[in-house]
Amino acid sequence: MAGKITHLEALSQVCKHLDHGTAEQRKIAKLLREENTRKFANIGAIAPDIFYFYHVLSPVRTKKALPWGDLSHHENVLELILNFLDGVLTVEEGIYRDRFLAFTLGYIIHCAVDIVTHPYIFFISGDYYNADKEISSKAQYNHMRVEFALDSWLLDFRWGMTPKAYDFVQHVDVIFKGKDGQKKMDPMLWNFWLKSLKATFPKEFKEKYIGSEEKIIPGDILNESFLGYLYFHRYLDSRSKIVRAALSFLDKITLHKVNSSVLMLPLKEHIDKRIMNEEKREWSYPADPNLIRNDSFVELINRACEAAKDAVTNAWGYVHDKTSRSSMIKEYQGYNLDTGLRFHGIDKMRQFSPL
């Protein structure tokens, strides 16, 4: 997964592209930015990643949600998006139809960014899915370091901002308090998302989903993954000097066996500049070593945003009866968000060159 800030910055960049497009594309940009819908677009832009945060302090419990993160990245990516779009069409025109559409378009932008940037990120961080736990753990640690470093670098490159000033949670904080006093995600969005997951993955939903189809109950996979994601980034706020100091102290007293500081966005002076690939070294797709590129990270983001602009335009056309289902299938079916390729699963990922 590309980092959270990268995904939100890509959404912003896509809107800028749409601003200079057709009248219909300007309508899309307006929807994604409006006060009543923008947070839903932002949530869509980070949505596939929330399942990795179900219960971040309990790895055993978090494992129950991991399959949904993996399914969202590896299986039936287009089918889930089409189910989102079909779900939008069943809702009467109004604020929630707009919110669901904004969420779906944000989700599409997330997918485009992953498809374009993930091959590079996996190539330079290592074999994330290796059966050897030592190899995969090292790659997963590297993966997080790379994504957080890219987020931090992008903040400086785009806005001259430091992680000490960036408030992420405000962009996705849509939490309600129920009559029972329990906090939960927007129940309408929960229901919309849940229906699409069930329609896309009926077998997995029946066997693995924890929760009720009728209402949000304690332990619900979708709701608690969203809350876990939000709480993780709220408590590990990059702006907090206290949290930074505490994590650094924990690393020191454990002789860096924990490496908890990786959970915070690094400061610019601590980033390995090689990860941006400004010198344009060649790299290859891990799932297809014959596919060689030399894009820098900025070039990858620009390419992803161009592809995302086209994809959300097609999705808008689908909802407004201007784009057919068959054309969507022809253009997008089979993409894997980690390999970046069509009909290439993670089992094909073999080529890596960690920095």
Domain ranges of the chain: 4-348
Predicted local distance difference test score (pLDDT) of residue 211: 94
Alpha helices in the chain (DSSP H): 4-19, 23-33, 38-46, 59-62, 66-74, 77-89, 95-125, 133-159, 187-200, 202-208, 221-235, 241-253, 297-319, 325-332
- Taking the complete model, does pTM exceed 0.75, yes or no? yes
pLDDT digits 0-9 by tens, 244-253: 565 565 656 6
What is the pLDDT confidence band of residue 269, given thresholds at 50, 70 and 90? confident
Cβ of 234: how many Cβ atoms within 10 Å?
11
Q: Rounded mean pLDDT of 179-200?
A: 93
Q: Check pLDDT > 80 for residue 5.
A: yes
**How many residues are recorded in the chain?**
355
Q: Which of 69-78, 82-91, 162-171, 309-318 has the lowest mean pLDDT?
A: 162-171
Cα angle 63, 69, 72; round to 5:
150
What is the pLDDT confidence band of residue 243, given thresholds at 50, 70 and 90? low
Q: How many CA atoms lie within 13 A of 269 on its CB side?
A: 1
Cβ burial, residue 251 (10 Å; 0-12/13-18/19+): middle
Predicted local distance difference test score (pLDDT) of residue 183: 86
| Mean pLDDT of the residues in the chain | 90
Query: Smallest Cα–Cα separation from 258: which of 266, 273, 246, 240?
Result: 246
Predicted local distance difference test score (pLDDT) of residue 240: 62
What is the percent of the chain with per-residue pLDDT over 90, rounded to a whole number? Answer: 67
Predicted local distance difference test score (pLDDT) of residue 318: 98
Beta-carbon contacts of residue 303 (< 8 Å; ≥ 6 apart): 116, 295
Q: Could you tell me if 43 and 103 are in contact, meaning their C-beta atoms sit under 8 angstroms apart?
A: yes
Q: Check pLDDT > 60 for residue 1.
A: no
Predicted local distance difference test score (pLDDT) of residue 93: 92
Cβ burial, residue 49 (10 Å; 0-12/13-18/19+): buried
Q: Could you tell me if 149 and 43 are in contact, meaning their C-beta atoms sit under 8 angstroms apart?
A: no
Predicted local distance difference test score (pLDDT) of residue 266: 83
What is the pLDDT confidence band of residue 103, given thresholds at 50, 70 and 90? very high
